[in-house]
Each structure stands twice: as C-alpha cells, then as structure tokens.
Amino acid sequence: MEQFKSFEDFLKYVSDNNQKALAAMDDWHRRLKCGDCYIRIWDDLIIFGEIIESEYREDRELLRHRPELRLTRNYSIACPEGELGTIYVVDIYGTISKASFEIARSKGWKLQLPVTIYRGERAITLRESEGDNDD
C-alpha cells in the first residue's frame, strides 16, 4: 500500500505515473479508439474491455488531453456484468476482434481458443495444444 506524507506528495506520485505511462506508449497504443476491443491480463485474470465514448462533453474534453487514458467498459469472470472505468493504454495487452469479444461474452468471459491478439502490426494467435480438451 502506498502512503504519502502530504497531498502534494500524492499529486507528484500521480503526475510521475502519468508521465511513465506516456513514455511507455507505443504507436499502436496511441491509435486505440472507440469501438476497439482488447484484453488486459491482471495477475491470473483475463479482463475483456471495449473502448467507449462518454456521453458527457466534459469527459470527452478531458480525455482529449490525456492520450495515455481511454474510457472503457470491462468484463471478466469476476465481473460479468461489466464495469465502467478508465485504463492506461499501456496496461492493454492487445486488441481482439469484435467477434472474439462477443464469443467471450457468450462463454461467460472465458477466453476461447483459437484467438488472435494484436499488438500493433504483430499478431499473436493462441491455439489449443493437441490433446488438450476441456470439454
């Protein structure tokens, strides 16, 4: 747990993290847009997300000036109903097709193989190994 001696120390911590996120961004992170679907891996939990646009003008204005953040709705087996939030784009492992996103939704937010994950121009396809059969 982080602890701070003052509110100013906390603000510096937040600013430093924002700067680190900006520095870590690749070109494909910068191109992420509304409607893109993605996966994020957090510990052993796979989180499926969709980048969305806020209905509020103030939010849209704020996010225009924060290229390291996107507004999202996220889903997982731990939160199948979804959760609204923001994400640092550098925390996105890769994008997936809308079809793969919808298949995961229909299966209770479990990753269904095969699936292709895109990290910019790089595509990573995950397939079941021969002999693997969980059905």
Query: pLDDT tens for residues 48-74?
Result: 999 999 999 999 999 999 999 999 999
**Band of residue 130 on the pLDDT scale cut at 50, 70, 90:** low
pTM exceeds 0.85, yes or no? no
pLDDT in tens, 86-120: 999 999 999 999 999 999 999 999 998 999 999 99
Distance CA 13, CA 39 (A): 27
Q: Which residues pair with 94 in a beta bridge?
A: 39
**Band of residue 131 on the pLDDT scale cut at 50, 70, 90:** low
Q: What is the pLDDT of residue 132?
A: 53
